[in-house]
Amino acid sequence: MMNFHAVAAIYGFEMARTRRTLLQSIVSPVISTSLYFVVFGAAIGSRISEIEGVSYGAFIVPGLIMLMLLTQSITNAAFGIYFPRFAGTIYEVLSAPVSAFEIALGYVGAAATKSIILGLIILATSALFVPLRIAHPLLMLAFLVLTALSFSLFGFILGIWADGFEKLQVVPLLIITPLTFLGGTFYSTRILPPFWRTVTLFNPLVYLISGFRWSFFGLADVNVGISAASILVFLAVCLALVWWIFKTGYRLKT
């Protein structure tokens, strides 16, 4: 039987940390996204009025939400599990009558919740800049939740793997952010020359951004079924890695 009190305690503690750092956790990403709208909307939007019948300002909204969703999911989950390891309090959690699934559910659930709330706030903020329509709202929420959950799990794995604060920033800043920019956040990969379009298909974030944009406008650079399958496969891989970490005690019991 699941220990809901333990899950709620971990989840509540992590959500309370967000309330204590509201400026950094919520306000800063929203301001950053607003600046993207101002800069890219003014600089590029004045030259590109529409992409496939969608105004440029609206076209970049799904990509910007995905950019913030990915980086914040990873960062929140990574720091959430790294600090208990750094302070040594993780051993108290491991010695308590709490299963590995319940520990992961508490930390990952809180990180995913923060990211989903942030994504919805950015979506609402975007509506202040450009007129938005969401063709498939339920699928949009499904992509939002699955992406936040998957990358929160990935961040949880990263937080266990990292042995210093520098490593916590390597993946979000040097890998995820560049791949997101090159994955069609600000443009459609269909406008690329055939060679470079083929190259972009090796970027896994192209499938996430494309699927998420399809839920808004019915436009996709790749088949939406492939996009959905890719996030489900990534989720399964992360779940398997988390199971292996707790089974072997990798970087938790040493």
Higher-confidence position of 55 and 238: 238
Q: Kindly state the DSSP code that residue 252 receives in the 8-state scheme.
A: T
Residue 129 lies in a domain: yes
Identify the pLDDT of residue 214. 96
Query: pLDDT > 90: what percent of the chain?
Result: 54
Q: Could you give the CA distance from residue 51 to residue 54 in angstroms, rounded to a whole number?
A: 5
Cβ atoms of 114 and 144 within 8 Å: the answer is no
Give the pLDDT confidence score for residue 48 in this predicted structure: 75
67-84 b/e (C-beta count within 10 Å ≥ 16 → b): bbbbbbbbbbbbbbbbeb
Confidence of residue 227 (pLDDT cuts 50, 70, 90): very high
Is position 95 within any domain?
Answer: yes
The answer to whether position 254 is within a domain reads no
- Tell me: pLDDT of 22 over 80: no
Closest alpha carbon to 222 in 240, 241, 208, 242:
208
Q: How far apart are CA 108 and CA 73, in angstroms?
A: 9
Asked if the structure places residue 138 within a domain, the reply is: yes
The structure tokens 């992961």 sit at 104
Q: Is 231 inside a domain boundary?
A: yes
At 156-215, the pLDDT tens digits run 999 999 888 888 888 888 899 899 989 998 888 988 999 999 999 999 999 999 999 999
Read off the pTM: 0.92
Q: How many domains does the chain have?
A: 1
Domain assignment present for residue 92? The answer is yes
Residue 123 has pLDDT above 70, yes or no: yes
pLDDT at 198: 92
Q: Binning pLDDT at 50, 70 and 90, where does residue 137 land?
A: very high
pLDDT at position 166 is 83
- The answer as to whether 33 is a domain residue is yes
Question: CA dist 195 to 30, 89, 201, 208, Å?
Answer: 35, 51, 10, 21
Q: Which domain holds residue 143?
A: 4-248
Residue 253 lies in a domain: no
What is the token pair recorded at 5?
Answer: 């009190």
